[in-house]
């Protein structure tokens, strides 16, 4: 039998039972579409991280105490003393708690910090102003809201001048930030910023979460990195204080996203595998149903190899057609995903190749056993078979 005839026979076999073929294909369609869409979503998330590395550069350093060491506000001055005057040193005291606007109550991330915080980059003021030096020295109970907090607490209306309750104490809202959106800064949208001394008082501790250092250039950042690492190693011993540049932090995050993408792709691949088992199931039924046809074909001159080819091509036609429909569906869903997910889905050609290769392999792998089974039928029994 020639290849073109084998294909024609396989196609008419599939076409002969349209609904069943379509249902069988559905497993592959869903699997392939899932691989493409989920990989695109995972890619979108990790690309948001890497684009942030590119736009911000790597002139930020995160100094985080650990291993029994604690930092207080006095440490800020100590770091400032170590580094050139151009460096910006900003402390953060992170906490969390219940926040209420009188009508709405919800959780909030709290950051106690200084007026220099916006100079680190990444955030901008939408309404009002950020914390001022006077807010800090006068221990004023004022707050700046992240975009999401403003939205949840005040339903989008300008909250400047309104009052909110944080951990039982009343604060006056003096500013609202613009949304940061996706990426590692997204948490700032859910944060409420208050003066550092007020935060120390509210939380009941003056131990800082970390200190952020901004230098004038990436070169200065790596210089500052080694300077501070030396300083703290001498002072507290190795590894007591972590000094990490922003790109180190972000690439760690990026690696997490890559793992996440792999996980999504793996999950999707499992659904493809299930689709393959569906193909095998249907092909076994088809072989049984067409036992007599197999007997006839053998009697008329088909070799065992011809029979294997016929059924293998039929299962591959199903899985490949399913694969192509799945790729089309995956593209469609990817286009729609911004409407549902907010995150941009980034198409990866690899995922199409992966899906295509996988669906071919599924058709081949799961079609092989039924095809061989068909070819091993005894022609005499097959001709007598009455299903």
What size, in residues, is the chain? 387
298 is a contact residue toward other proteins (CB under 8 A): yes
For the chain, the distance separating the N- and C-terminal CA atoms, rounded to the nearest angstrom, is 27
Q: Which is nearer to other proteins, 141 or 298 (CB)?
A: 298
302 is a contact residue toward other proteins (CB under 8 A): yes
CB of 1 to other proteins, least distance (A): 6
Residue with tokens 């079609």: 367
Burial class (CB in 10 A: 0-12, 13-18, 19+), 356: middle
What is the x/- site pattern for other proteins, positions 347-386, by CB under 8 A? --------------------------------xx--x---
As given in the structure block, the two tokens for residue 252 are 């760690």
289 is a contact residue toward other proteins (CB under 8 A): no
CB 91 within 8 A of CB 80: no
Q: Which is nearer to other proteins, 122 or 379 (CB)?
A: 379
Q: Which is nearer to other proteins, 121 or 379 (CB)?
A: 379
Find the binder of other proteins among 66, 67, 303, 353 (CB under 8 A): 303
300 is a contact residue toward other proteins (CB under 8 A): yes
Find the binder of other proteins among 42, 295, 322, 323 (CB under 8 A): 295
16 is a contact residue toward other proteins (CB under 8 A): yes
As given in the structure block, the two tokens for residue 248 are 């180190």
7 is a contact residue toward other proteins (CB under 8 A): no
List the one residue out of 32, 5, 23, 47 whose CA is nearest residue 260: 47
82 is a contact residue toward other proteins (CB under 8 A): no
Q: Give how far Cα 134 sits from Cα of 114, 137, 190, 196, 357, Å.
A: 10, 5, 25, 12, 64
Find the binder of other proteins among 52, 141, 257, 297 (CB under 8 A): 297
9 is a contact residue toward other proteins (CB under 8 A): yes
For every residue of 61-116, DSSP letters joined together read EEEEE-TT----HHHHHHHHHHS-TT-EEEEEEEEEEEEE-SS-EEEEEEEEE-TT
172 is a contact residue toward other proteins (CB under 8 A): no
Find the binder of other proteins among 1, 160, 328, 364 (CB under 8 A): 1
Which segments of 257-374 are extended strands (E)?
none
Binding residues (CB under 8 A) for other proteins: these are 1-2, 5, 9, 12, 16, 292-293, 295-306, 379-380, 383
């Amino acid at each position: 039998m020639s290849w073109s005839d084998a294909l024609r026979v396989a196609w008419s076999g599939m076409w002969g039972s349209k609904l069943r073929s379509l249902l069988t294909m559905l497993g592959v369609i869903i699997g392939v579409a899932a691989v493409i869409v989920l990989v695109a979503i995972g890619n979108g998330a990790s690309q948001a991280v890497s684009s942030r590395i590119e736009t911000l550069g790597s002139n930020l350093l995160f100094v985080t105490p650990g291993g029994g060491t604690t930092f207080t506000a006095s440490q800020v001055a100590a770091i400032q003393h170590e580094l050139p005057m151009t460096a910006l040193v900003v402390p953060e005291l992170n906490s969390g708690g219940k926040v209420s606007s009188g009508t709405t109550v919800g959780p909030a991330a709290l950051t106690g910090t200084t007026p220099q915080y916006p100079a680190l980059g990444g955030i901008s003021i939408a309404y009002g102003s950020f914390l001022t030096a006077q807010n800090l020295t006068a221990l004023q109970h004022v707050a700046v809201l992240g975009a999401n907090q403003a939205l949840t607490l005040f339903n989008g209306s300008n909250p400047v001048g309104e009052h909110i309750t944080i951990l039982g104490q009343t604060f006056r809202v003096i500013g609202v930030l613009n949304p940061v959106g996706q990426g590692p800064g997204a948490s700032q949208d859910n944060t409420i910023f208050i003066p550092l001394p007020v935060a120390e008082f509210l939380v009941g501790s003056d131990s800082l979460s970390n200190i952020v250092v901004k230098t004038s250039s990436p070169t200065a950042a790596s210089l500052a990195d080694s300077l501070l690492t030396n300083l703290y190693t001498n002072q507290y011993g190795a590894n007591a204080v972590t000094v990490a540049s922003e790109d180190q932090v972000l690439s760690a995050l990026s690696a997490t996203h890559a793992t996440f993408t792999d996980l999504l792709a793996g999950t999707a691949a499992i659904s493809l595998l299930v689709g393959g088992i569906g193909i095998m199931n249907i092909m076994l039924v088809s072989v049984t149903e067409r036992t007599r046809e197999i007997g006839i074909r053998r009697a008329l001159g088909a070799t065992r190899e011809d029979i294997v080819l016929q059924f293998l091509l039929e299962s591959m036609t199903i899985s490949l057609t399913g694969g192509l429909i799945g790729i089309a569906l995956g593209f469609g869903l990817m286009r729609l995903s911004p409407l549902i997910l907010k995150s941009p889905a980034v198409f990866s050609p690899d995922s199409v190749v992966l899906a295509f290769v996988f669906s071919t392999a599924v058709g081949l792998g799961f079609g092989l056993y039924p095809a061989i089974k068909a070819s091993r039928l005894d022609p005499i029994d097959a001709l007598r078979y009455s299903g």
